[in-house]
A and B are shown apart, each in its own frame.
Chain A
Amino acid sequence: DQQVKQNSPSLSVQEGRISILNCDYTNSMFDYFLWYKKYPAEGPTFLISISSIKDKNEDGRFTVFLNKSAKHLSLHIVPSQPGDSAVYFCAATGAGSYQLTFGKGTKLSVIP
């Protein structure tokens, strides 16, 4: 049973436009959410996170939105750049555990 779902395997966006990556979760005990970025042949790197007590967290071009009632979060990248092309993983943790549960990832391609 997938507790963290990323239903879009891939997304293509023009350079300069907004990229929106979506993530849904089913476990109501999750209270902390993270986005990781992964380039080929490298390990995932932390990008941005959000606690369940917030509904928005912003860091430069990256903003994560959390809708707890819908059990949904999204990552917005504005403006998108070719260097943002990577696989983005949504991850969640909570219920007294610090273990991460990952989604399957979304491959973002930013077209110059």
Chain B
Amino acid sequence: EAGVAQSPRYKIIEKRQSVAFWCNPISGHATLYWYQQILGQGPKLLIQFQNNGVVDDSQLPKDRFSAERLKGVDSTLKIQPAKLEDSAVYLCASNRALGDEQFFGPGTRLTVL
């Protein structure tokens, strides 16, 4: 079974630029999560989808971050405009149903200069 795929693996941008990350969850997994992991911290949940609907986006900075999962499969997370403090690893995870084990992708490391 293929794991959670993410791209790109690394991205370097300047502040005020825009960036987008892509995630393809494990086939059949209804729930998809985006986490932000700042260096030295644990992953912090940004947004949770159930199929193509948002379950929780209370910790998503909506003035600059947006995410979508239009067909209930893959998802994109966008930052516009980026700030220095957005430098982090962005992790995508999925599970078959709420409460099941979450499987994580390898993450996208974003550096904002």
B98 & A98 in contact (Cβ 8 Å cutoff): yes
Chain A, residues 18-48, CB within 8 Å of chain B (1/0): the string is: 0000000000000000001000011111100
- Classify chain A: how many residues form its interface, as a range: 10 to 19
* Contact between A100 and B98, CB atoms less than 8 A apart: no
Question: Which residues on the A side are within 8 Å of B48 (C-beta)?
Answer: 99
- Taking the closest CB of chain A, its distance from the CB of B3, in whole angstroms, is 8
Interface residues of A in 71-112 (CB under 8 A from B): 89, 91, 98-100, 102-105
State how many residues of chain B have any CB contact under 8 Å with chain A. 21
0 or 1 for each of B93-111: is its CB under 8 Å from A? (1 = yes): 1000011011111110000
Alpha-carbon separation in the docked complex, A89 to B56 (Å):
22
- Dominant SS at the A interface? strand
Which residue of chain B lies nearest to A6 when distances are taken between CB atoms in the complex?
B42
A100 to B48, CA, bound (A): 11
Residues of B within 8 A of A64 (CB): none
| A43 and B4 form a contact (CB under 8 A) | yes
**A4 beta carbon closer than 8 Å to chain B:** yes
A100–B35 alpha-carbon span in the complex (Å) = 10
Q: Decide if A43 touches B106 in the complex (CB within 8 Å).
A: yes
Please give the distance in Å from A87's CB to the nearest CB on chain B: 9
What is the CB-to-nearest-CB distance from B51 to chain A, in angstroms, rounded to a whole number? 15
Besides A43-B104, A43-B107, A99-B45, 15 more A-B contacts (Cβ < 8 Å) are: A4-B42, A41-B9, A43-B106, A44-B43, A44-B104, A46-B101, A46-B102, A99-B48, A100-B43, A100-B45, A102-B42, A103-B42, A104-B42, A105-B41, A105-B42
**8 A–B contacts from the bound complex (CB under 8 Å):** A43-B104, A43-B105, A44-B91, A44-B104, A46-B102, A89-B43, A100-B102, A104-B41
